[in-house]
Amino acid sequence: MRKAGLIIYHETLIDLKEHIWTFIGAFFGIGAIGLLNSKFLPVSDNLFLIGSFGASAVLVYGIINSPLAQPRNLIGGHVVSALVGVTVYKLVPGEIWLTAALSVSLAIVMMQITKTLHPPGGATALIANIGTAKIKALGYLYVLSPVLSGVLILLLVAIVCNNATSHRSYPRNKSWYKFWERNYKVRYKRVHH
C-alpha cells in the first residue's frame, strides 16, 4: 500500500512552476468569460459560462500536450457538439432522457468522425438539452455564444499563458490554424502502415 501511494504521488507530482501557470491560465480563461458575463448580462442570465468550459480548462491549462487539448479539438469538439445538441433538442422535443442520451452519444461519434474529440464537448451537447430555458431558447445561437465565443477566449488565454515561459509550449502544432494545408488521410496512412 505504501509503495502504491508513493508511485501515485510521484506520478502526479509536477513542479511548482507548472502549478502556477496552470492556475494563471485557468483563472484568466474562466475569469475572462465570467467577466464578460457579469458586465453584459444580469447575474440570472449566466449564458457565457457553461459547465463544460471548466473541463476544457483542465485540458488546455493543465494537460497542454494532450491531443485532446489542442486547438482543433478544443474549438471543433465544442462547436460540433453544440450543433449536435441543439439539433437533437429541436428534433426530439420533450423527452429529456432521450435527447440527453442522443445528444451526448451522437456528439461523441461526430467528434470522432471530424477528428475533434474533446471530452468536455459531450457536456456541451448535454447542456443544449438540459440547460436553462434561456439556453434552450437560444437555439443555434448557442453554438456562437456562449460556445464558440467562450472557447475562443479559452484558446487565446491558453496561447498566451502556455507560451509565457520556456518550459511550456502550446499548441504542439504551431501551424494548427492552417487547416487548409492538412491532409489527415495521408498522415494517417503513413503513421499506421
Question: What confidence tens digit (pLDDT) does each residue in 115-170 have?
Answer: 999 999 999 999 999 998 888 999 999 999 899 999 999 999 999 999 998 889 99
Q: How far is CA 66 from CA 56, 156, 171, in A?
A: 12, 17, 10
| CA triple 35-119-130, angle to 5 deg | 65
Burial 164-176 (b: 16+ CB within 10 A, else e): eeeebebbeeeeb
Condensed to tens digits (0 to 9), the pLDDT of residues 37-96 reads 777 665 555 567 899 999 999 999 999 999 999 999 999 999 999 999 999 999 998 899
Q: Which residues 6+ apart lie within 8 Å of 166 measured at CB? A: none
In 3D space, the residue among 135, 161, 144, 7 whose CA is nearest the CA of residue 69 turns out to be 161
- Record the pTM: 0.82
